Structures are given as structure tokens and as C-alpha cells.
Amino acid sequence: MVPAAGGRANNGDPMTTIIALQFKCYRVLGKFNSMNEKKSMMVNETVIRILKLSFVGLFLTLSPGLSVWAEEAQSETKTKPVNVLMMTADNLGYGDLHCYGNKDMKTPNLDRLAAEGVRCTDLYSSSPTCTVSRASLLTGRYPQRNGLIHQLGKEENRSGIGLRHSERLLPEFLKLRGYATACFGKWNIGFAKGSRPTERGFDEFLGHRSGNMDYYTHVYNLVHDLYRGTEPAHLEGYSTDLFADAACEFMRRHAQKPFFIYLPFNAPHYPNPGSKAPGEPCIWQAPDEAFAVYGYSPQTQDEQKRYRAVVTALDTAVGRVLDQLEALGLAENTLVIFFSDNGAFMRKGAGLGCASNGPLRTEGLKLYDGNIRVPGIVRWPGKLPAGRVCKEMLVHMDFFPMTLRATGTERELDRKIDGRDPTATLAGKAASPHQALFWGYQNARALREGNLKLVSPGKSKPWELYDLQADIGEKTNLAANKPKVVERLKKRYADWLGSMK
Ligand SMILES: [Ca+2]
């Protein structure tokens, strides 16, 4: 188990208290030593001598060798950079985890992570789709600023530039501070020469180029899609497990070096009929053990049951990675972040009838909260309290500056980013770092300011206004009753959009 915040800093044991006393005495002595007046010199020197002798005597009596221990502990704390493990799920809905209220879903490892860290109720993605969300996360910038505002197509996934090369990714900054970096999982932001993970700041990559590789055959629209570095990799296994295993193995190899692992699982993305051989059923895939957790047959055709098995397999893999972190003694010094890249797609065959966005409204990709508000958990022992629920508005881009600051890398930043460090907010010491958040996808537009949500679901569609505190499901449109608020927020949206150019 990982101790709660503050446990390391002052656990109340006698050794810690003595060390604190030692530092206080040194501070007092320092002040005396800095006094110059001749008049007080003699008195001071006498006091200092008495204090020094008393202190040394007390210290030697109580704890011989303690100062050596204290120096080592201080030195270790100062010189040990924080590791970052950033895990993402794919299309996991706001209501899909047990710790988010889904009583039918078994996700004990993510529930445990929430109990040891902070669970977010109002965390957003800056996009309702995979490609755009991921590019925004890795650049810390709104899609409208980094330029990648559309979902990549088949050929773009395989060989397109995707995110323009003038953008700099999070691992590129971490490399400047000596971090070992790796990406294991779904890339989905371009795989042309110069666009590939190992050419964009990651030392290692095992994963798929596209948005939805088959979990077992590793095929995307009839073409092999699993790569190691820049070369095809032909491995056997369930993709969730392959990625988790790669992360564990990387941690074992880099236990003595600071690391950043980006672990974008492809689960629980819906199955793609284009990736199936002729006659092969297009169903959610999971290992037999994940079905067994529920007592289901792996042959069941029930979509709901199969989806649950996929999510539980994801949870099991997350648990294995966390266990590895702990076994290596790294859990206390590692910032762990988990969230979904976007909400569940509530379309037939793509989540409808089996995934859940909880109480949130979902319609196509029209930017109601079901598309963009996501489950998210952050654990950072000693920095964030255990078992806290954060209800402040945050966005996944915030994990970019959070990672930079946690790793001491922020000085390397050379461009404007839109994420804001959420550490104080997550700790309960500050309100949201954002006055407002903004979205634009295809013809849909949205803004959230406080509890107000302004959304236009499509071209020529009038703006709608909702109060999310009173109406989390965006059912009661207040626009007709509050035209001035609508006008003010419309202007705010226009100003934001203008600032992106
Ligand atoms: Ca997604």
C-alpha cells in the first residue's frame, strides 16, 4: 500500500522529530552567528557555546549515527527525480468504472488507484475523438492551436504526417532532462517518417499505428499494424496484455533511472469490422480469465458481457503495471495518471447498449458532456491526498504542465501551452486553473464556464445553454431565458477561437 499524503514528510516517529529539532537548532545558531555588534558578541558566543554543547551532547546520547542517516535521506530526496506513468483508456465512458458508480463492472485495481489518489468528476478531454485528443494531450495545446483537428483515416494512420512536425511532444522536453521515455499502445497521430514515436521523443515504442487494431490479430483494416520502433512486430497475445507487459519490462530495466511511460491502451475501443477476416464475427474480445471474473462463458455473444470482460481485462493489466511499480519500490516516487481519451461512443456496435457515459448526454460527436467528460484518476504519494474526489473543472492537457513541473522540466518549455498545472487543484488547495474550457469538432462548438455550458451541436444549429450543476444531463436548454448570458459566452468563444490563430 502507498501511504497517504504527508506520510513521508512527517510521520511523527522519534527519528523524524529529532531531525526536525536538529534543523531548527542549526537555524537558531545561524541567526546568532550572523550578529555583528561587539556589545552582544560575548553574550552571544557564550549562549552559542552552551547551545552547541547541549545539542551535541543530546544528539550523541540519543542517536549516534543519526546525522549520517539524515544526510543520506535528504540527499536521496533531492536527487531522485519523479517518474511519470501516464495511462489512457480508449473510449472508456464516464459511467464505465465501478468507482464511478457502475455496480455491475468489476474494476478493483482502478478502484484501488482512486482510493490511493484523487478521482476527478469534472475532467475533460479537449476532443471527442481519439486522434485529436491524443495530439492535444501530447502537445499540451488545444487542437485548434496544434492544427490536428480531424480523425486520421486509413492511409493517414499508416503513413500520414498527422501532427505537424513543428509541434513538440511531451517526451521531447523530458529527454532534455535525462528521462528514459517509452510509448506502449495506440499512437494514432501519424506514422510518416519523422512522425513516428521514436522520432518524437520516445526512446522505445511497441504499439499500433492506427486507431483500432484487432486485439489478437493486430490487424487494422486488413493490414498488420503492430510495430516495435519503426518496424513491424509479429507477436502473439492480447494487445492490452502486450502493452502492460512492455511497460513492466521497461520499468524493470529503468528502475535506477527516471522514466516517463506513456501507456495508451487500445481497450476498450469497439471492434472494427474492417479488421476482421471474412466470416469472422465482429465482437468485443477479451481473455478467458476476464470472462471468468464474472462467471461468463468466453463464448457468450452477449455484447454487454463481452464489453465488461474487455474493461476488466484492462483493469487487470493496470493492476499488473501498478504491482510492478510497487515491487520495484518505485510507487512512492511515481506520479500515476489514468484517464480516458474521450467518452464512450453510444452508437450501435460501438458502445450503445453496453458502454456507459453515466448520467451524461451523448449524441453523435456533438460535444455534449458524454463525448468529452471522462473518468480520470491521479495518484502521487506525498503530494496528493489519498481517496480525494476533485470536482473542479480540469482538462487532460493539464497533465502536460503537471508532468513538466513534477519532473523539473518546465524550464525547457519554449512555446505557449493551454494546459494548466492542476496539482494544487487536485490536492484541494486551489480552484480550477481554468476560467473556461473550449471545444470545436467538425461543426460542433462548446464552451464551459463555471457550471454553465454553451453548446452548438452542428452547422446552423442555435446555441444551447445548460447549467451543469442543476442539470448534468444537459436536458433543459436555458438559452431562451438567458439571452444576455448566451451573447456574452458566444463572444467569449469567438475571442478564444480568434486567439488560436
Ligand atoms: Ca478514443
pLDDT category of residue 78 using cuts at 50, 70 and 90: low
| Region 367-378 average pLDDT | 98
Collapse the DSSP code of 394 into the 3-class scheme (helix H, G, I; strand E, B; otherwise coil) and give the result: strand
* DSSP β-ladder status, 334-340 and 83-89: parallel
**How many A from CA of 17 to the centre of ligand 1?**
49
| Region 160-173 average pLDDT | 98
**How many A from CA of 449 to the centre of ligand 1?**
25
Mean pLDDT of all residues belonging to the chain: 88
- DSSP classification of residue 419: -
pLDDT category of residue 79 using cuts at 50, 70 and 90: low
And the C-alpha cell for 107? Answer: 474494476
Answer whether residue 145 shows pLDDT above 90: yes
Phi, psi of 189 (to 5 degrees): -130, 25
Answer whether residue 28 shows pLDDT above 90: no
Give tens-digit pLDDT for 234-291. 999 999 999 999 999 999 999 999 999 999 999 999 999 999 988 999 999 999 999 9
**How many A from CA of 500 to the centre of ligand 1?**
24
**How many A from CA of 130 to the centre of ligand 1?**
4
Q: Which residue has the cell 451524461?
A: 360
**How many A from CA of 195 to the centre of ligand 1?**
20
**How many A from CA of 128 to the centre of ligand 1?**
8
**How many A from CA of 9 to the centre of ligand 1?**
39
Answer whether residue 42 shows pLDDT above 70: no
**How many A from CA of 343 to the centre of ligand 1?**
7
Give tens-digit pLDDT for 420-445. 999 999 999 999 999 999 999 999 99
**How many A from CA of 90 to the centre of ligand 1?**
4
pLDDT for res 69: 44
Q: SS3 for 187-236, per residue?
A: CCCCCCCCCCHHHCCCCEEEEECCCCCCCCCCEECCEECEEECCEECCCC
Give tens-digit pLDDT for 453-471. 999 999 889 999 999 999 9
Alpha-carbon span 340 to 198, nearest angstrom: 23
**How many A from CA of 138 to the centre of ligand 1?**
15
- DSSP classification of residue 78: H
**How many A from CA of 437 to the centre of ligand 1?**
20
Angle, CA 142 vertex, CA 137 and CA 145 arms, to 5°: 125
pLDDT category of residue 112 using cuts at 50, 70 and 90: very high
Phi, psi of 467 (to 5 degrees): -105, 105
| Region 317-336 average pLDDT | 98
Nearest alpha carbon to residue 193 among 221, 158, 144: 158
Question: Which of 28 and 145 is assigned the larger pLDDT?
Answer: 145
**How many A from CA of 425 to the centre of ligand 1?**
26
**How many A from CA of 8 to the centre of ligand 1?**
37
Angle, CA 386 vertex, CA 380 and CA 392 arms, to 5°: 85
Answer whether residue 4 shows pLDDT above 70: no
pTM summary value:
0.85
Q: Is 201 left (phi over 0), alpha (psi -120 to 50) or beta?
A: left
**How many A from CA of 478 to the centre of ligand 1?**
30
| Helix%, strand%, coil% for the chain, nearest 5 | 40, 15, 45
pLDDT for res 382: 96
pLDDT for res 459: 87
**How many A from CA of 91 to the centre of ligand 1?**
4
| Region 396-400 average pLDDT | 98
**How many A from CA of 23 to the centre of ligand 1?**
51
Alpha-carbon span 395 to 448, nearest angstrom: 11
Answer whether residue 8 shows pLDDT above 60: no
**How many A from CA of 191 to the centre of ligand 1?**
18
Give tens-digit pLDDT for 88-101. 999 999 999 999 99
Find the largest Cα–Cα distance for the chain. Answer: 98
**How many A from CA of 487 to the centre of ligand 1?**
32
pLDDT category of residue 80 using cuts at 50, 70 and 90: confident
**How many A from CA of 444 to the centre of ligand 1?**
18
**How many A from CA of 159 to the centre of ligand 1?**
20
